Structure 1
Amino acid sequence: MPTTRETILTALADLLRTIPHVPVLRGEVLPERVPPSGLIILRDGDPGEPGVTLSPLRYHYQHRAELEVVVQDAKSRDARFAELIASIGAVIVADRTLGGLCDWVETEAPEPVDLPVEGAASLKAAVVPIILHYATSDPLA
């Protein structure tokens, strides 16, 4: 039986997969080739220290997951990157509770960097923090 955390991270990955033509990986290394449409890698991140309420006992998390967003396109890299970031924002705004699994999902602003690649077009990449607010009755559930 999957934990609350795993269920929420899986739902987030599935939501991101609704972005057309953009592969979404989970916890994998950056592949040698980045598709022209870009690539998103979901990192599970850190649930952090929970807040605790009693009666009933609930652990309230502000889990910080991360998306690695990567685009490699010699001609329209900056525009494609901006488009991909906007698409991520749009799908999250459309379902801030991941179908009721999460109390709230919010993003933080990315800090893009240009990464040179020897013999190929450079990469434009950023880490996009995703904060998942949820509660569970057991920190291991």
Structure 2
Amino acid sequence: MPATKTEQILDALKTRLETIPDATVERNSVVPEKISTGGLLILRDGTPGEPEQALGGFGGVYCRQEAEIDITIEDGDATSRDAAFDALLQMVGSILDADPTLGGLAFGMTYGRPEIDTEAVVGAPAIKAGTLIVAIEFEADTALG
């Protein structure tokens, strides 16, 4: 059975994120004990919006998926950590802006700045993390996406 449109979109988004050099990209995983020097991106399925059907029941179902991209950098030096986080965030933005339709799977996507948090870790470098919400609009054959 072919994957749902939602699954195709999330897979396409993960594939594009995997092109970021030195970053580890995972999907729906927990944060590991060690974060790679290039940073960690975890794509989470996020929240589906309420599907809307075209008037008269003709055509497909219009869907919205709010995927989440957790962006994490680990470094003990605040200046290096801030610079690395900003660089990784800009690379993610470039990936999203380069193909907002994900090869024609979606009508488009929007995103904003993530809420950012820095956490001290006992015996390890501090972690700077943020979650970027990416709203993806698309048409599917059924309300299941």
Aligned residue number for residue 46 of structure 2: 45
Report the 3-state secondary structure (helix = DSSP H, G, I; strand = E; otherwise coil) of the residue aligned with 2:115.
Answer: coil
**Structure 1 stretch 99-108 or stretch 52-61: which is displaced more?**
52-61
Q: How is 1:51-90 mapped onto 2 (pairs within 5 angstroms)?
A: 51-54=52-55, 55-75=57-77, 76-90=80-94
User: TM-score when scaled to structure 1?
Assistant: 0.95
Q: Which whole-Å deviations, capped at 9, do the CAs of 1:2-47 have from their partners, x for residues lacking one?
A: 1101000000000111111111100001011001110000000111
One-letter identity of the residue aligned with 2:64:
Q
> What is the aligned counterpart of 1:124 among 106, 124, 128?
128
User: TM-score when scaled to structure 2?
Assistant: 0.93
Displacement of 1:83 in angstroms is 0.3
Aligned length: 141
One-letter identity of the residue aligned with 1:26:
R
**Structure 1 stretch 49-58 or stretch 86-95: which is displaced more?**
49-58
Where does the alignment leave 5 or more consecutive residues of structure 1 unmatched? none
Aligned residue number for residue 109 of structure 2: 105
2:62–2:138 CA contact under 8 A, matched in 1: yes
Displacement of 1:138 in angstroms is 0.4
Displacement of 1:109 in angstroms is 1.2
- After TM superposition, what 4+ stretches of structure 1 lie above 3 angstroms from structure 2? none
One-letter identity of the residue aligned with 1:13:
K
Aligned residue number for residue 18 of structure 1: 19
- Alignment root-mean-square deviation, CA: 1.1
